[in-house]
């Protein structure tokens, strides 16, 4: 059965709605009232207080398709993009949730039936993991579902035990993997593709059953809950009989659009995958009110934009191009996320301004970096070089790292941090004498805008989009 990504999203909603789940819209990528979280990175984020019991809802079962970004903080897949077949900076996490309603047995049943009956996946291609001492889950998989025991793997690492924080709700997980077959091999040791792309994790089922106390004891929760996350793009790859997320319908079209705007015909080029990935995270971040800036969320966004622009430059783009992909993205995702379509002109404008700014220094910075790489002694680009690229040409350190890695080199991150520190001290000294230029510049560039309801932020956006 070949299903489009949009079909699968719809099927997921239909299935869980049939089973009494309330459909809940994706929350913003900027977590509400949670300064500990850089970006929304899982479906459960918006239900945190419901799980904690401090917020009540009118339903006890929910289903959602959550936009997620993993490009910083605890979950950071930025360095994986372009290297593995399964990671994006932005992706959609489908999830079903039980707030003290059903538990392990039903959660496992729902997931299994959705995959094997609704989507018709071959049972023998599926493997599952359980936390090493979760005999209950093992027993359900083996005796209730009928998965052969050699395909139920006990894992004793944190991968299979989830916790909300140092204390509070936590519990074992059970994950479902799909076997893509032997045709794909992993990369060299120490690289993100080391573990290969044969067995791909598609669905994580979290069984919240304990309340962890200060002293480490695990008290059973009176009403255990369920949180699950299924990667939509990973399921699409399976349903469309391809072995990489970057070959699914949506990415095929985005990559084609990217090739057109940068002017290349080499559709296999890795840089196209990176740009197609980055247009999604950048557009949705701006859509949710993040503006490129010099710190925090805004700086993560700026770094992703600059990486994308640099990849375009590498492919030979002759002109400002990145913003032109917003239209293609809106065509793909505007129906599922109407807010994206609404914000299209703003997103385009912000990306254009940002690219125009960076393109002024990009080629000179690249010329310097290429010279450095040509004459490099050893395998590490020195911290002061990384700093100069940052300070003079606006190259975020991770962008320099990305280029270095393409040549088999790395950057001296510690040395870069030290150079940054020294600059801060110089700026501090200068400001003590009333020469506060650096600080002033920083404030001007750092629009820490948190949402369209923020009046000051709105003014910034309007400032930026007026011609």
Closest CA to 225 of 246, 211, 238, 241: 211
60 vs 204 by CB, closer to Mg ion: 204
Residue 229's binding partner among ligand ATP, Mg ion, none (Cβ under 5 to 8 angstroms by kind) is ligand ATP
Tokens representing residue 347 in the block = 């997103």
Minimum CB separation of residue 26 from ligand ATP in Å reads 14
Residues in 192-221 that interact with Mg ion by CB under 5 A: 201, 204
Residue 274's binding partner among ligand ATP, Mg ion, none (Cβ under 5 to 8 angstroms by kind) is none
Closest CA to 29 of 87, 89, 81: 89
Task: Report which residue's Cβ sits closest to ligand ATP.
Answer: 231
Residue 202's binding partner among Mg ion, ligand ATP, none (Cβ under 5 to 8 angstroms by kind) is ligand ATP
Residue 234's binding partner among Mg ion, ligand ATP, none (Cβ under 5 to 8 angstroms by kind) is ligand ATP
Angle of helix 338-374 relative to helix 270-287, nearest 10 degrees, comes to 130
Residue 7's binding partner among Mg ion, ligand ATP, none (Cβ under 5 to 8 angstroms by kind) is none
128 vs 202 by CB, closer to ligand ATP: 202
Residue 70's binding partner among Mg ion, ligand ATP, none (Cβ under 5 to 8 angstroms by kind) is ligand ATP
Alpha helices in 315-436 (DSSP H): 325-333, 338-374, 383-393, 397-406, 413-432
Question: Which DSSP state fits 220?
Answer: E
Rounded Cα gap, residues 421 and 442, in angstroms: 15
280 vs 324 by CB, closer to ligand ATP: 280
- Look at residue 375 and give its three-state secondary structure: coil
224 vs 229 by CB, closer to ligand ATP: 229
Minimum CB separation of residue 215 from ligand ATP in Å reads 28
Taking CB under 5 A as the rule, does residue 283 contact Mg ion? no
* Residues of this chain that bind ligand ATP (CB under 6 A): 70, 77, 86-88, 91, 93, 201-204, 229-231, 233-234
Closest CA to 45 of 29, 63, 21, 23: 29
Residue 88's binding partner among Mg ion, ligand ATP, none (Cβ under 5 to 8 angstroms by kind) is ligand ATP
Residue 432, sorted as left (phi over 0), alpha (psi -120 to 50) or beta, turns out to be alpha
Tokens representing residue 27 in the block = 């929350």
Minimum CB separation of residue 108 from Mg ion in Å reads 16
196 vs 334 by CB, closer to Mg ion: 196
Q: Is the dihedral of CA 272, 275, 38, 54 positive or negative?
A: negative
DSSP one-letter string for 118-187: IS---GGGEEEEEETT-HHHHHIIIIII---GGGEEEE-SGGGEEESSSSEEEEEEEEEEEE--TT----
175 vs 402 by CB, closer to Mg ion: 175
51 vs 393 by CB, closer to ligand ATP: 51
70 vs 324 by CB, closer to ligand ATP: 70
Minimum CB separation of residue 80 from Mg ion in Å reads 8
Segments of 47-141 assigned E as strands: 61-69, 71-72, 75-76, 90-98, 126-131
Residue 401's binding partner among Mg ion, ligand ATP, none (Cβ under 5 to 8 angstroms by kind) is none
Residues interacting with Mg ion, by CB under 5 A?
201, 204
């Amino acid at each position: 059965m070949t299903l489009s990504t949009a079909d699968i999203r719809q099927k997921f909603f239909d299935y869980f709605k049939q089973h009494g789940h309330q459909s809940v819209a994706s929350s913003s990528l900027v977590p509400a009232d949670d300064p500990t979280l850089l970006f929304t990175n899982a479906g459960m984020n918006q239900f945190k207080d419901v799980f904690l019991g401090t917020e009540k809802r009118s339903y006890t079962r929910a289903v959602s398709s959550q936009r997620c970004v993993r490009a910083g903080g605890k979950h950071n897949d930025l360095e994986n993009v372009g290297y593995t077949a399964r990671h994006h900076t932005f992706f959609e996490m489908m999830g079903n949730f039980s707030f003290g309603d059903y538990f392990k047995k039903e959660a496992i049943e729902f997931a299994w039936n959705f995959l094997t009956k609704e989507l018709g996946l071959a049972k023998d291609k599926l493997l599952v993991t359980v936390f090493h001492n979760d005999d209950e889950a093992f027993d359900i998989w083996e005796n209730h579902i009928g998965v052969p025991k050699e395909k139920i793997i006990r894992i004793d690492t944190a991968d299979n035990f989830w916790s909300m924080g140092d204390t509070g709700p936590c519990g074992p997980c059970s994950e479902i993997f799909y076997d893509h077959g032997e045709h794909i091999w992993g990369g060299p040791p120490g690289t993100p593709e080391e573990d290969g792309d044969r067995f791909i994790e598609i669905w994580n089922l979290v069984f919240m059953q304990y309340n962890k106390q200060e002293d480490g004891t695990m008290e059973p929760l009176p009403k255990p809950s369920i949180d699950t996350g299924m990667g939509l793009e990973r399921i699409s790859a399976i349903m469309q009989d391809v072995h990489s997320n970057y070959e699914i319908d949506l990415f095929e079209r985005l990559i084609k659009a990217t090739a057109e705007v940068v002017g290349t015909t080499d559709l296999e080029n890795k840089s196209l995958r990176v740009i197609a990935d980055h247009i999604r995270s950048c557009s949705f971040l701006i859509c949710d009110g993040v503006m490129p800036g010099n710190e925090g969320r805004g700086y993560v966004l700026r770094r992703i934009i600059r990486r994308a622009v640099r990849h375009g430059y590498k492919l030979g783009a002759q002109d400002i191009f990145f913003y032109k992909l917003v239209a293609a993205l809106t065509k793909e995702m505007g129906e599922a996320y109407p807010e994206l379509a609404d914000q299209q002109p703003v997103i385009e404008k912000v990306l254009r301004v940002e690219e125009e700014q960076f393109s002024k220094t990009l080629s000179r910075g690249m010329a310097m970096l290429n010279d450095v790489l040509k004459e490099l002694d050893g395998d590490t680009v020195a911290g002061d070089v990384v700093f100069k690229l940052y300070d003079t040409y606006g190259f975020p350190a991770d962008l320099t790292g990305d280029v270095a890695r393409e040549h088999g080199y790395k950057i001296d991150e510690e040395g870069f941090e030290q150079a940054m520190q020294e600059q801060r001290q110089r700026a501090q000294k200068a400001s003590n004498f009333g020469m506060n230029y650096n600080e002033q510049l920083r404030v001007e560039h750092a629009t820490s805008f948190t949402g369209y309801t923020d009046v000051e932020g709105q003014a910034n956006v309007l400032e930026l989009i007026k011609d």
